[in-house]
Structures are given as C-alpha cells and as structure tokens.
C-alpha cells in the first residue's frame, strides 16, 4: 500500500514537472517568435533572416531590380523632406514613424506604408520613392516592437491595427480632407486587411495588399514548422493561451480572412506565384472572401514580396491605376 502511494506521488510529481517544463518551453517559443530582442540573444533573428532569404527567388532580373530599388530609395532620401514623428499607443508604447511631405502637402494624398514581420520602416523606402514621385505625402511607421518603436511583442498585424488608426488620426488632424492609401507587405499587408473589417475613416480610399497571410494562427504554425523544425503537439493552442495572458491578444481572432469579409474598402491583392513563405493560395482565399471592390495581380516568377522587383513597371502601373480609380 505504501509503495502504491509512493508511486502515485512520484507519478504526480513527474506530470507536474513535465507540465511546468512544457509551459516554460511554450513561453520561450513565444519569445523566440515574437520578441526581436530575445530572438537576437539566441541568434534566432539571424537564422530566421537567413531562412527567409534562402526561400526567396534568386534570379538575375530580381537582383538587378533590387539594386535599382535601393538606388531609387537613396535618391528619394536625398530630395525628400523627411523627419520623424511619434505617437503613443492605447496601451502606452511610444511608436516612431518617418514622415515625408511634398513641398506643398495641402491637398495631396497620403500613403501609409507598413513593413513585414521583424522588419522596419526603412525597408519601405523604395515604395516611398515611387509614391513621392506621384505626388503623395508618405508615412512609414515602425510597427510595435520593431525598428525604433516600443512594444513587448510583435502584434502579427492584430494589435498593430489600433496603432495604425493612431497614425491615420495624426494625418487627419491637420489635413481632415486627406485621401489615404494603405500599402503593406506581408505582415503589414495583413494588418491593412485586418483594418478593413473595422470602422475605417472614409478618408482611407483603398488598400494595396502585397503577400498578406490569411490568418495569424496558420502563419504562427508555419513558423513553428519551417523556422524552428518543431512539431505542433498542441504547442500552438497552448501558445495562444499564454499570448492572451502575456501579450493581450488572441491569435485566433487575428484573421485577415474574417475581416475582409466585412470590408467596404477597395483592395488590390498582389502575390508572387513562387512565394514559399506565404503561399499564393492565401491571396486567392483573401480575394474570394473580400466583400469590397477588389482586384488581384499574381506575378509569375516572384517570391515573397518580390513582385515589385520581378516586374517593377507592371507592378506600379497596376498599383497606381487601381489607386487612381479609387481617389
């Protein structure tokens, strides 16, 4: 009898220790995936960057156009009147953006350019160069917990929605009649789409979504498998619960697919057919679900957010013809 009680106690202790270790592991996974500073400490940031680069399409034309885009961004920075602006999120984080105004900004349209996962505002400057030449004022935010913006966790586009609304309000304060375009790539694109399911100001005339993922749970699961070589074994559902506790948001609700079904904002969906990070099927699913005026451009031979580098002229012709029809 005593031996059975001892075995029962040992069994309970083993289960308890395994439960604690499992949850410690899940919390570390959340930090590795959603806290850039923690990622850097474990060198996960470099590994993810290298993995992402290896999944890109490497062709001569894309290489040449990438260098051309860098040159355009450099020339843009030399001629544009750029300065940093700040705002405070609803939960108290200081957010930073780069702002570029036309010499006479009054009456000119605005574009808000949103970068992707673990990115920063400077990555969007090659888009900014094209918009600036078309007469747009430009706002390039660092999304929370990335670049110069504060934050505890990357928001996967979901918590970023409220932050982008702050930036929109900042534009509309001095320019209440401004026309605004939202243009995002990858996570930034998903953020734009998630915003379309909310009560956006009528000033937001359209969205350009480049390589958006359909929902954050699926993307988180793919990161777990592709970047960290881990089986799910319930990790995603457990991580979701811990993220609600730690980060204040629910991955299951962070669905661009659900939000575009409520949208009335004209949206252009762009995707590369060789995207190995966010499969092109996501664009097709989002397009089908979208209840607003919409169009789609699938670029042959382009990987993740490489459509503008595979065929820049076709890309920007499509983007600006869509925008012109909406303004």
Does a structural domain hold residue 1?
no
pLDDT range class, residue 238, cuts 50, 70, 90: confident
Q: What is the CATH number of the domain that holds 163?
A: 3.40.50.1820
Q: Is residue 221 part of a domain?
A: no
Residue 209 lies in a domain: yes
pLDDT above 80: residue 287: yes
Q: Which residue would you say has higher pLDDT here, 253 or 47?
A: 253
Asked if the structure places residue 63 within a domain, the reply is yes
pLDDT single digits (tens) 126-139: 999 999 999 999 99
Structural domain span for residue 169: 57-215+254-326
Tell me, yes or no, whether 26 lies in a domain: no
Residue whose structure tokens are 């602006």:
85
Q: Where are the beta strands (DSSP E) in 222-304?
A: 267-272, 294-299
Q: What is the arithmetic mean of pLDDT over 72-98?
A: 95
Domain tally, the chain: 1
DSSP 259-276: HHTT--S-EEEEEETT-S
Give the Cα separation of 95 and 146 in Å (integer).
Answer: 9
Helix H or strand E encompassing 114: strand 110-114
Query: Is 248 domain-assigned?
Result: no
166, pLDDT greater than 90? yes
pLDDT band at 239 (very low <50, low <70, confident <90, very high): confident
Q: Burial code of 223-247, b = ≥16 C-beta within 10 A, e = fewer?
A: bbeebeeeeeeebbebbbeebeebb
For residue 205, the 8-state DSSP code is E
Residue 135 lies in a domain: yes
- Residue 51 resides in a domain: no
């Amino acid at each position: 009898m005593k031996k059975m009680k001892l075995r029962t106690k040992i069994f309970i202790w083993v289960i308890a220790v395994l439960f604690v270790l499992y949850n410690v592991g899940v919390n570390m996974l959340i930090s590795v995936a959603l806290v850039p500073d923690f990622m850097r400490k474990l060198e996960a940031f470099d590994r993810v960057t290298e993995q992402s680069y290896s999944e890109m399409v490497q062709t001569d034309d894309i290489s040449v156009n990438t260098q051309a885009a860098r040159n355009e961004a450099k020339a843009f920075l030399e001629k544009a009147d750029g300065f940093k602006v700040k705002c405070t999120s609803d939960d108290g984080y200081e957010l930073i953006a780069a702002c570029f105004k036309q010499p006479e900004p009054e009456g000119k349209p605005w574009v808000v350019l949103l970068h992707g996962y673990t990115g920063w505002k400077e990555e969007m400057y090659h888009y900014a160069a094209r918009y600036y030449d078309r007469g747009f004022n430009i706002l390039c935010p660092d999304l929370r917990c990335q670049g110069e913006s504060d934050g505890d966790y990357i928001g996967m586009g979901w918590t970023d929605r409220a932050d982008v609304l702050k930036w929109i309000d900042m534009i509309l304060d001095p320019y209440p009649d401004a026309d605004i375009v939202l243009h995002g790539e990858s996570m930034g694109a998903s953020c734009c789409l998630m915003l379309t399911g909310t009560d956006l100001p009528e000033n937001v005339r359209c969205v350009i979504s480049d390589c958006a993922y359909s929902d954050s749970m699926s993307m988180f699961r793919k990161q777990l498998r592709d970047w960290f070589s881990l089986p799910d074994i319930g990790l995603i559902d457990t991580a979701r619960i811990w993220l609600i506790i730690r980060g204040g948001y629910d991955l299951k609700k962070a669905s661009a697919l659900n939000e575009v079904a409520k949208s009335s904002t004209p949206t252009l969906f762009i995707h590369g057919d060789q995207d190995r990070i966010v499969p092109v099927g996501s664009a097709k699913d989002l397009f089908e679900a979208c209840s607003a005026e919409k169009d789609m451009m699938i670029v042959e031979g382009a990987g993740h957010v490489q459509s503008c580098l595979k065929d820049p002229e076709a890309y920007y012709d499509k983007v600006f013809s869509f925008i012109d029809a909406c303004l």
